[in-house]
């Protein structure tokens, strides 16, 4: 190997264990015959060794980390978004509601993403959302049949819904949910977050804005009543 500069880059790779066996022996041969590259190898190795020397953890750091984690507010509340709502604005609320039973036919509706306002980062969901496919700059979400109702609702209704879907006072952790959401609600009034999946289980409501589900403030009955009213609004 005649190119010392190239060799020195390979020395760096050698120290990191990123060379093939053939490359390793090439570099080692060169080092053995080139004092300058040998000294580079020694210097790089010395620096690497020095960097690996770990200091012990300072006193109190572990406790500080754990107390910081425990003190952390568990989640953002939904309340803060509401104040950005313009009371005068007329909102369109898109609701995909369906009857959670086995009697639905497996037929599907394809819904254009422009109508859905669904963030593309949403995971593919089971149940009513049966799939997601890309087509150029549009993403199509597939919904189970009869899951689609579109409703325009008032700002008050949207506000009420967001309040019901805010974390419950005793909500203290997030849940990973899977399976069929009972409702998917998309707000298109420009207020974030604008999409929420609602799971109703054993009378308790869980809302998932895309960061894990949490127990919601509203009861199953309140939310069902409101959504039914929305569909009729």
Partner 1 sequence: MTEVSEKKIIEKVLGGDANAFEELVLKYEKTVYNLALRMVGDRDDAFDMTQEAFIKAYGSLSSFRGDSKFSVWIYRIATNVCLDFLRSKSRKQQVSLTVSDDDDEDAQLDIPDPSSAPEQQLMQKMSMQSVEEGLKTLPDKQRQILVMRELGGMSYAEIGAALSLEEGTVKSRIFRARKRLCTFLLDSGNIPDSLASKGMKGGGET
What are the residues binding partner 1 (CB under 8 A)? Answer: 4-5, 8-9, 12-13, 16-18, 35-40, 42-44, 46-48, 50-58, 61-62, 64-66, 68-70, 72, 172-176, 211-212
Looking at the Cβ atoms of 25 and 211, the one nearer to partner 1 is 211
Q: What does the alpha-carbon distance between residue 173 and residue 74 come to, in Å, rounded to a whole number?
A: 7
Question: Under a CB-based contact definition with an 8 Å cutoff, are residues 65 and 39 in contact?
Answer: no
Q: In the complex, what is the shortest distance from the CB of residue 118 to partner 1, in angstroms, rounded to a whole number?
A: 18
**Whole-number minimum distance, CB 130 to partner 1, in Å?**
22
Q: Which is nearer to partner 1, 74 or 138 (CB)?
A: 74
Phi (first) and psi of residue 32, to 5 degrees: -65, -25
Nearer to partner 1 by Cβ, of 10 and 85: the residue is 10
Provide the minimum distance between the beta carbon of 135 and partner 1 in the complex, in angstroms, as a whole number.
Answer: 25
Is residue 162 within 8 A of residue 130, CB to CB? The reply is no
Main-chain phi, psi angles of 17, to 5 degrees = 70, 35
Residue whose CB is less far from partner 1, 122 or 231: 122
To partner 1, the closest distance from the beta carbon of 44 in angstroms equals: 5
Does residue 105 sit in helix, strand or coil? coil
CA–CA separation, 92 and 226 (whole Å):
15
């Amino acid at each position: 190997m005649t190119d010392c500069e190239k060799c020195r880059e390979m020395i760096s790779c050698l120290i990191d264990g990123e060379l093939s066996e053939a490359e390793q022996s090439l570099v080692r041969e060169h080092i053995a015959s080139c004092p300058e590259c040998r000294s580079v190898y020694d210097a790089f190795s010395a620096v690497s060794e020095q960097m690996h020397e770990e200091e012990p953890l300072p006193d109190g750091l572990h406790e500080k980390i754990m107390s910081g984690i425990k003190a952390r507010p568990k989640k953002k509340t939904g309340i803060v978004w509401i104040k950005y709502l313009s009371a005068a604005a007329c909102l369109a609320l898109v609701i995909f509601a369906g009857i959670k039973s086995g009697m639905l036919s497996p037929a599907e509706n394809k819904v254009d993403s422009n109508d859905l306002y669904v963030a593309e980062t949403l995971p593919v969901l089971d149940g009513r959302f049966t799939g997601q496919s890309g087509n150029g700059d549009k993403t199509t979400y597939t919904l189970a049949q009869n899951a689609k109702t579109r409703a325009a609702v008032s700002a008050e209704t949207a506000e009420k819904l967001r309040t019901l879907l805010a974390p419950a006072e005793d909500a203290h952790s997030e849940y990973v949910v899977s399976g069929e959401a009972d409702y998917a609600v998309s707000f298109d009034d420009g207020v974030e977050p604008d999409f929420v999946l609602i799971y109703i289980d054993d009378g308790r409501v869980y809302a998932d804005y895309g960061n894990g589900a949490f127990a919601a403030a509203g009861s199953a009955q309140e939310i069902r009543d409101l959504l039914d009213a929305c569909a009729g609004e």
